[in-house]
Amino acid sequence: MLDTRTETLHVVYLARLREAFASSGEAFAFAGDGTTVAEVIETLRGRGGAWATELAPGRAVRIAVNQVMASPSTRVHAGDEVALFPPVTGG
Amino acid sequence: MLDTRTETLHVVYLARLREAFASSGEAFAFAGDGTTVAEVIETLRGRGGAWATELAPGRAVRIAVNQVMASPSTRVHAGDEVALFPPVTGG
Amino acid sequence: MTVRVQQAAFDIGDEIDGMRAGDARVGAIATFIGTVRDVNDAASVSALVLEHYPGMTESALGEIVADAKSRWNILDALVVHRVGKLEPTEAIVLVAVTSAHRQDAFAACEFIMDFLKTRAPFWKKETTPAGERWVDARQSDDDAAARWSPDTR
Amino acid sequence: MTVRVQQAAFDIGDEIDGMRAGDARVGAIATFIGTVRDVNDAASVSALVLEHYPGMTESALGEIVADAKSRWNILDALVVHRVGKLEPTEAIVLVAVTSAHRQDAFAACEFIMDFLKTRAPFWKKETTPAGERWVDARQSDDDAAARWSPDTR
């Protein structure tokens, strides 16, 4: 049987999250189609440390999937670019 | 007895009214304190011709007294500058 | 707070730079520029002549600007209005408002334009293929100014 | 409709002149310029660094502008947003909208700014005497964007 964990998406961290995670992004192995952004975040949170702090429930985290604003319930697919970032403050 | 008609104010005509009356303004003899702009306009209207047409009841005429927006009921005094003009169209 | 009435063209960039120069309290600049269109009320327009009431114009504009300053938290405001003959695409009027935050700047700028359109003594005469004609005032401008009754913010 | 993200400073007058050049249908140009203030949230600010999400920024801005065009009768819209290090009084963003009449230009300009503030992926980091800090989003910006629900005109 195929190990679906070999499917990957690319996670991008921006602004305060990029600094807190000391990473601008990474390849992320996941269970394949049907997985939601909320589930991806839940997995990241499980790493503890800055991940648990910055992604704690109640912290405002914004999401874009393939560079379009998305929500925790958005489903992701192999190859997707999932960006996590704080509320925007441009202008 | 003093002839109150020797009191004068200066009437100014602007834009379409200036053209219609072929005049940018004139000294205007009036009955003195207590006279309203409406009474001044009534006297001018009595001249007939363009005066009757442009100042006909229902035509939109705007008023300034001493260069401040005013209304038909504003009272005028000797030496006042009373301007009559169409609704403004600047900007 | 500056109001100017002039025949000469103005440079939009210079005017905006001049009013905000060196003021690091400014976070927002809202501006409006009114320009001559080549068509109005279904007729083509080749030129516009702006007439005004010289004694009253600056004071009327100054009062509108002072009123805006009393209603919103603005740092500065500038109104430049041209008179005389103008051609399509030329700028007629510039209103610029500076503030710490954008909401005050936008509201004050729009307020100044709405009252300039209904209270400042300027009149436009257009040159069309059928000859010259005075531009009629618009009901929509009266309606726009009426939005800003004293108890509306 | 043009959106640009750049490090370089821009000339406000040139940008406005460029977008309306020769278009005699334009009667109204509403613009907004956001500038760096030297104080924010009770701390003095000596510099600002603007970060963005390169892949997404232009498309997010393009969508906001397209949405404005679908809601109001506008002729053109321009958004220029700077990234990188900026100092107090420098311009961060320019939004300019042209239209035949001022109401459409004002509304579309304000709409674009409200959504840029809540939807475009930019983040500000300030340098203060206590060190660097990320600027917090403001509830008032969310409220401003919420005004424009699809059935509100």
* Cβ-Cβ contacts under 8 Å for C138 (sequence gap 6 or more): none
Chain C contact present for B49, CB below 8 A: no
d(CA D50, CA D39): 16
Which one of A62, A67, A82 would you mutate to disrupt binding with D, by most D Cβ within 10 Å of its Cβ? A67
Sheet of D2-6, strands arranged across: C2-6, C74-82, C91-99, C28-35, D28-35, D91-99, D74-82, D2-6
Task: Give the tens place of pLDDT for each residue, B43-62.
Answer: 999 999 999 999 999 999 99
Tokens describing residue B38: 């409406």
Burial class (CB in 10 A: 0-12, 13-18, 19+), C136: middle
Under an 8 A CB cutoff, do D53 and A12 touch? yes
Residue C55's pLDDT band, with cuts at 50, 70 and 90, is confident
Q: Which of D32, D88, D102 sits opposite C30 (nearest CB)?
A: D32
pLDDT recorded at residue C87:
97
Residues of chain D in contact with residue C110, where contact means CB-CB under 8 angstroms, are: 106
Query: Chain B partners of C81 at a C-beta cutoff of 8 Å?
Result: 90-91
Segment C19-30, tens digit of pLDDT? 988 899 999 999
Query: Which subunits have 3 or more CB–CB pairs within 8 Å of chain B?
Result: C
Contacts of residue A86 in chain D, CB cutoff 8 Å? Answer: 123, 134, 137
Q: How many whole angstroms separate alpha carbon C30 and alpha carbon D93?
A: 12
3-state secondary structure of C4: strand
Q: Kindly determine whether residue C121 and residue B90, on different chains, have CB atoms separated by under 8 Å.
A: yes
Pairing, β D28-35 against β C28-35: antiparallel
> Pick from D50, D134, D136: which is nearest to A90 by CB?
D50
Q: Chain centroid to CA C85: how far?
A: 17
Average pLDDT over residues C36-59: 95
Per-residue confidence (pLDDT) for residue A33, from 0 to 100: 81
Residue in C13, C23, C106 nearest the CB of D12: C13
Binary contact (C32, D30; C-beta < 8 A): yes
Cβ pair D16, D98 in contact under 8 A: no
- Contact by Cβ (8 Å): D57, D116: no
Whole-number mean pLDDT of chain B?
A: 93
Q: Is C102 on the interface with B (CB under 8 A)?
A: no
Specify the pLDDT at position D42.
87
Q: Helices (H), strands (E): how many in chain D?
A: 4, 10
Question: Rounded to a whole number, what is the largest CA-CA distance in chain C?
Answer: 52
Query: Which two tokens mark D25?
Result: 């249908």
Assess whether pLDDT exceeds 60 at residue B26: yes
What's residue B5's pLDDT? 59
Instruction: Return the pLDDT at C14.
Output: 95
pLDDT value at C16 more than 50: yes
Contacts of C18 (CB under 8 A, 6+ apart): none
Partner A contacted by D91 (CB < 8 A): no
- Identify all chain D residues contacting C89, using CB atoms and an 8 Å cutoff: 20, 22-24, 26
Cβ distance A64 to D53 under 8 Å? yes
DSSP 8-class letter at C116:
H
Where do we find the tokens 């800090």?
D133
Q: How confident is the model at residue A4 (pLDDT cuts 50, 70, 90)?
A: low
> Cα B8 from chain centroid?
12
pLDDT tens, residue order, chain D (153 aa): 999 999 999 999 999 999 988 899 999 999 999 999 999 988 999 999 999 999 899 999 999 999 999 999 999 999 999 999 999 999 999 999 999 999 999 999 999 999 999 999 999 999 999 999 999 999 999 999 999 987 544
**Residue A3, pLDDT score:** 52
Give tens-digit pLDDT for C111-143: 999 999 999 999 999 999 999 999 999 999 999
The pLDDT of residue B3 is above 60? no
Can you spell out the DSSP letters for B37-87? HHHHHHHHHTT-HHHHHHT-TTS--EEEETTEEE-TT-B--TT-EEEEEPP
Q: Which residues of C touch B86 (CB under 8 A)?
A: 123, 134, 137
CA distance D108 to chain C (A): 12
Cα gap D63→D59, rounded to integer Å: 6
By CA distance, what is B17's nearest residue in C? Answer: C134
Query: Does the structure show a pLDDT above 80 at A29?
Result: yes
CB atoms under 10 Å from CB of B87, counted, come to 19
pLDDT for B4: 52
d(CA C11, CA A86): 40
